[in-house]
């Protein structure tokens, strides 16, 4: 019996070990997640409309049905953001700190064009490790005219009449081009250079239709839509139901 055990131990010792890995092992780190959602803004003659849905998802999973994409910066400026929720929260905190510092130093809130430039500088400052966010800024300019600024993730921005970004952009943009910009309409009157020529009620109804349509086709847009109306009277936010599937 002892001889058998010794023979087994010798055979085990002489047996080949586990196959060595000849290729280097790779450890991958990806710091971002895409939480979806859609943000939209329209500039009117004396108002601005900002809208966003409240769904936060990752992949095919809905993480929350009540996460707002709208963030009030000043009494007449609202930021709508889609993308990675972690970076959205970080960006909002940073902007709030900068706005508070400005107001304490100058004794007045920052104007919308200055907020637009500050946001661009903030995004550009992180261009080598960008905030994974898609931003739309809306407010009223010094003349009381609605203004909308569109951004890319690294801070390039421009003032536009209408803008939509996020997971529902490809579904909603053609509607905005046709109804607000009057593109592809023969003999249709052109809107003013910096705003649309529709009334507030007409604008809100079109925005509702756009989100309702996108919510039926985009799995990352849904649950509830928030519509924020910015006017001389202040900021008003209303909620409307969307598809919850």
Q: Write the pLDDT tens digit of every residue in 168-179.
A: 999 999 999 999
Strand partners, 163: 41
From residue 24, alpha-carbon distances to 17, 19, 21, 68, 227 in Å are 19, 14, 7, 44, 52
- Give per-residue pLDDT as tens, 76-107: 999 999 999 999 999 999 999 999 999 999 99
Q: Are 148 and 80 in contact (CB under 8 A)?
A: no
Q: Which pTM does this prediction carry?
A: 0.86
Judged against a pLDDT cut of 80, whether residue 16 lies above it is answered with no
Check residue 51 and give its pLDDT.
97
Q: For residues 44 and 195, is the Cβ–Cβ distance under 8 A? A: yes
Residues in the chain: 245
Asked if residues 191 and 182 have their Cβ atoms less than 8 Å apart, the reply is yes
pLDDT per residue as tens digits for the range 226-242: 999 999 999 999 999 99
- Does the pLDDT at position 14 exceed 70? no
* Parallel/antiparallel/unpaired status of strands 224-231 and 234-241: antiparallel
* Per-residue pLDDT band at 112 (split at 50, 70, 90): very high
Q: From CA 101, how far away is CA 197, in angstroms rounded? A: 37
What is the CB-side half-sphere exposure of residue 84 using CA atoms within 13 A?
13
Q: b/e map of 109-139 (b: 16 or more CB within 10 Å)?
A: bbbbeebbebbbebbeebeeebbbbbbbbbb
């Amino acid at each position: 019996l002892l001889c058998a055990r010794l023979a087994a131990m010798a055979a085990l010792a002489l047996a080949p070990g586990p196959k060595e890995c000849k290729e280097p092992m790779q450890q991958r780190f990806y710091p971002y997640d895409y939480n979806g959602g859609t943000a939209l803004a329209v500039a009117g003659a004396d108002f601005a409309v900002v809208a966003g849905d409240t769904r936060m998802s990752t992949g095919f999973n809905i993480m929350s049905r009540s996460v707002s994409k709208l963030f009030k910066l000043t009494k007449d400026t609202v930021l709508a953001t889609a993308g990675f929720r972690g970076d959205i929260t970080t960006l909002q905190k940073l902007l709030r700190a900068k706005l508070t510092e400005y107001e304490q130093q100058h004794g007045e809130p920052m104007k919308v064009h200055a907020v637009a430039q500050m946001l661009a500088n903030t995004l550009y400052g992180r261009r080598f490790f960008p905030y994974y966010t898609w931003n739309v800024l809306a407010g009223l300019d010094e003349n009381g005219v609605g203004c909308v600024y569109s951004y890319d993730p690294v801070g390039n921005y421009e003032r536009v009449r209408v803008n939509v970004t996020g997971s529902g952009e490809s579904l909603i943009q053609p509607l905005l081009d046709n109804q607000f910009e009057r593109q592809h309409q023969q003999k249709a009157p052109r809107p003013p250079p910096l705003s649309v020529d529709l009334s507030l009620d007409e604008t809100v109804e079109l925005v509702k239709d756009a989100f309702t349509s996108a919510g039926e086709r985009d799995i990352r847009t849904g649950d509830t839509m928030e519509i924020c109306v910015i006017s001389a009277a202040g900021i008003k936010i209303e909620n409307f139901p969307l598809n919850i599937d």
